[in-house]
Structure 1
Amino acid sequence: MAVPNQTPIYNLNVVLKLTGLKADALRAWERRYSLPQPNRSAGGHRLYSDYDIETIKWLQARQSDGLSISRAVELWKEILNAGRDPLAEVSNGRGAELDSVLVPAPRVDILRLNWQEACLHFDGVKAEEIINHAFDMFPIDVVCMDILQKGLSNLGLMWYQGEASMQQEHFASAIASRRLESLITATPYPTRSQTLLLGCPPDEWHTFPLLLLNLQLRRFGYRVVYLGANTPIEQFLDTAVIIKPNLVILAAQQLTTAVTLKRVAKLLYSQRIPLAFGGLIFNRIPNLYKKIPAFFLGECLEGVVPIIENIISGDSIFPTFVDEVSSYLPLEESFRKNRPLIENEVVDIMKKENLRKELVEDVNEYFGVRLSAALDLGDLYLLNADFDWVQGLLSRRQIDKAHLISYFKAYSYALRKIMGSMSMPITKWITSYQINFADAQ
């Protein structure tokens, strides 16, 4: 694991909040042992780096192991004199080789599993204790990315597979989000002049990825204005006009919110306001990003900050965009108008399959909103990858292969009955997908 950043950006109050150490104790350590060794601002105030913060946590951890502070400092210097970095030694588990008292740090994956288990049991106290312990042992980036983010991803997969409830996933997300918000609050004042505007497009409620990016950007010294979930399109433009950001950043996790993100992007593009974006849906459908008139940030949060810095510096070429009117526009309007009638017809047909009405209505909602989104984006075959995911979800919720095939047939019949020949592009896609789905089973 990389050694923590040594750029001095945190003031004394931030360090005290992140470490829990008293100010007089920290000053005593600096005076007696020259640990840590903060820099000074132009005004003479102490400035600390991530490395300094992790140094303090390392010393605190050794005290928890039973060492006095003087012995902990001696051990630190012994490791340095041996030509190694104490933080790197603990991170890769080699500390026990240097001193029998130095206990190797728990592996990140074990902490993550323990945190997931606590969340599954709705044990908030234990979940918080595990996070606190993780921060004692590892840098902020490791805890946030490898425990919180990956832990939430694992719980999301468990929900998808029917092994966890939505309540359990939301409980974990709330704990992780609160911790990120507290870290964001503790970040120091910006050291850079650039301003970044972050938010989720309309109907997007998944905020954790943007919260994590918010924290990363603040720790790099940027001024960040965060608008949160489900932000109306007009608010992005109004806020951008007021604060004049160097870059707007949006994230969408679903096909439906990729549509609303595109609408925001077109509005900002018309005003020549630079926009960058990302999100899970652009990983699931690789070519979807090409339909958005903005800078694509890639498929993972790691390494995003350098991409953002290149965009802000002007090293990236402003994307060109030709606003093509979707050939599906009349079809989309007709489908939106007739969708309630179509779905009622499907419910009536599926009664013969002995499926609960509520279950069929849920499937209609899943399918209907995604179908509308694909029509809006002008490509029905965008549904393939997204509906692969949806049918996998449904198959784990009492709808097996036979029921899904019957559902496809019922939907095609309802489309033809209500919309006539106009529905042909949709029924053609359903037939194609149904054949591929049946062959793949």
Structure 2
Amino acid sequence: MPEDTLPDTTPLFTAAEAETRTGVPAATLRQWERRYGIPAPARSASGYRMYSPLDLAQIGRMQALLHDGVPASRAAELARQEHAGPAPAPAAPSATPQKRLSDELLAALLAPDLDRAALVLGAAHSQFPVEEVVLAVMAPTLTEIGTLWARGEITVAHEHQASAYVRGRLMGLLELAGRAEFGPRVLAACAPGERHEIGLLILVLLLRRRGVQAEYLGADLPLADLAAYARHRPADAVLLGLNGEWALGPTQAQLGALRGLRLPIFYGGGLLNARPALAAELGGQYAGADAQRAADTIVAALRPGAQEES
């Protein structure tokens, strides 16, 4: 193709505008980008994808080839050859099966196609243990959804629906895990002012699978009610999740309610990951930077004799 007829590589269009102009959903464009390196949008200063006329030409050609029955990898290759741009970056390492499933789950949730999401998770459960499905498929999908929402690439409605779907699946896994008849009892709740539940639900699931009688008491729980429940139903530890500064003030204001419980208190969540020393300031112990490490930390701390050893 003569140089003066090449499509412009100037980044001009947002993800929403590219979707409108090409008819290809933004979630599909991101999937093509990850898998095939096409399109290859630039990034704005704030991190948003910005598509050029060259990108739109490649998207249109790839879509036409797919409609003609050409396999996706071959369609991407042909679209790139026919609408050549700058030399492509080196190919990324092949994605793991878990990463591919996570990408498929993301695309299904953003479509939204919840039947397809269920099929993806069914395929994941047929290949991997429950913990791996949760930690390597579901959790990365939610992280990416949160990132897309923060960048303005998806709506709050998309984020809420995806989170609600994953929360429902986690609640089902908790029911399947059941409750141990023996072992330490841990009462888990989101701290006052905290409504982001999914990270804590994952940790409760991991604790149950390690033989802990882990009970989830809900989001935005007043500490006085938590203390009353702990006295009514004797426990071995309390676990509180805080993901943002919005929960810190209410938690600090209500800490007096936990005095006298004489129970170890574990703190986890995004806020603690950013400020681990905060756990000691709140009179407790930092659980860990991720659900797996937090579960291991809690189980080790509650095993018989652990308190005497420490």
- Give the TM bin, normalised by the shorter chain: 0.5 to 0.7
Against the structure 1 CA distance between its residues 317 and 270, is the aligned structure 2 distance closer, same or farther, given a 3 Å change threshold? farther
In the alignment, is the contact (CA less than 8 A) between 2:190 and 2:218 conserved in 1? yes
Match status 1:296 vs 2:286: yes
Against the structure 1 CA distance between its residues 291 and 317, is the aligned structure 2 distance closer, same or farther, given a 3 Å change threshold? farther
Against the structure 1 CA distance between its residues 273 and 266, is the aligned structure 2 distance closer, same or farther, given a 3 Å change threshold? farther
Matches within 5 A, 1:3-402: 107-313=97-303, 315=306
Moved more, 118-127 or 257-266: 257-266
Normalising by the residue count of structure 1, what TM-score does the alignment of the two structures yield? Answer: 0.46
Distance 1:188 1:271 in 2: 27
Partner amino acid, structure 2, of 1:180 = L
Q: What is the number of residues matched between the two proteins?
A: 215
In the alignment, is the contact (CA less than 8 A) between 1:187 and 1:218 conserved in 2? yes
Q: What displacement does 1:189 show?
A: 4.3
Distance 2:221 2:259 in 1: 17
Distance 2:235 2:128 in 1: 33
Show CA shifts across 1:336-384 (max 9, x none).
xxxxxxxxxxxxxxxxxxxxxxxxxxxxxxxxxxxxxxxxxxxxxxxxx
Against the structure 1 CA distance between its residues 263 and 225, is the aligned structure 2 distance closer, same or farther, given a 3 Å change threshold? farther
In the alignment, is the contact (CA less than 8 A) between 1:236 and 1:264 conserved in 2? no
Q: What displacement does 1:288 show?
A: 3.1
In the alignment, is the contact (CA less than 8 A) between 1:265 and 1:294 conserved in 2? no
Distance 1:241 1:312 in 2: 18
In the alignment, is the contact (CA less than 8 A) between 1:119 and 1:127 conserved in 2? yes
Partner amino acid, structure 2, of 1:230 = D
Partner of 2:65: none
Q: What displacement does 1:147 show?
A: 1.0
Partner amino acid, structure 2, of 1:209 = G
2:214 is paired with a residue whose SS is: strand
Distance 1:304 1:286 in 2: 12
1:228 is paired with a residue whose SS is: coil
Partner amino acid, structure 1, of 2:185 = T
Q: What displacement does 1:287 show?
A: 4.0
Distance 1:191 1:198 in 2: 17
Distance 1:156 1:316 in 2: 38
Task: Name which structure has the greater RCO, CA cutoff 8 Å, separation 6+.
Answer: 2
2:239 is paired with a residue whose SS is: strand
2:117 is paired with a residue whose SS is: helix
Against the structure 1 CA distance between its residues 305 and 285, is the aligned structure 2 distance closer, same or farther, given a 3 Å change threshold? closer
In the alignment, is the contact (CA less than 8 A) between 2:189 and 2:219 conserved in 1? yes
1:277 is paired with a residue whose SS is: strand
Q: Which has the larger radius of gyration?
A: 1
In the alignment, is the contact (CA less than 8 A) between 1:269 and 1:293 conserved in 2? no
Moved more, 158-167 or 302-311: 302-311
Q: What displacement does 1:262 show?
A: 3.4
Distance 1:286 1:222 in 2: 24
Partner amino acid, structure 2, of 1:196 = V
Distance 1:162 1:189 in 2: 40
Partner of 2:83: none
Partner amino acid, structure 2, of 1:225 = E
In the alignment, is the contact (CA less than 8 A) between 2:195 and 2:219 conserved in 1? yes
In the alignment, is the contact (CA less than 8 A) between 1:199 and 1:231 conserved in 2? yes
Distance 1:302 1:257 in 2: 23
Show CA shifts across 1:239-260 (max 9, x none).
0001111001010111121233
In the alignment, is the contact (CA less than 8 A) between 1:276 and 1:295 conserved in 2? yes
Seq. identity, %: 26
Against the structure 1 CA distance between its residues 238 and 318, is the aligned structure 2 distance closer, same or farther, given a 3 Å change threshold? farther
Against the structure 1 CA distance between its residues 186 and 192, is the aligned structure 2 distance closer, same or farther, given a 3 Å change threshold? same
In the alignment, is the contact (CA less than 8 A) between 1:255 and 1:281 conserved in 2? yes
Runs of 5+ consecutive residues of structure 2 not aligned to the other structure: 1-94
Distance 2:132 2:243 in 1: 23
Q: What displacement does 1:318 show?
A: 12
Partner amino acid, structure 2, of 1:315 = A
In the alignment, is the contact (CA less than 8 A) between 2:277 and 2:286 conserved in 1? no
Distance 2:270 2:115 in 1: 30
Normalising by the residue count of structure 2, what TM-score does the alignment of the two structures yield? Answer: 0.64
Partner amino acid, structure 2, of 1:271 = L
Distance 1:106 1:312 in 2: 35
Query: Which of the two has greater helix per residue?
Result: 1
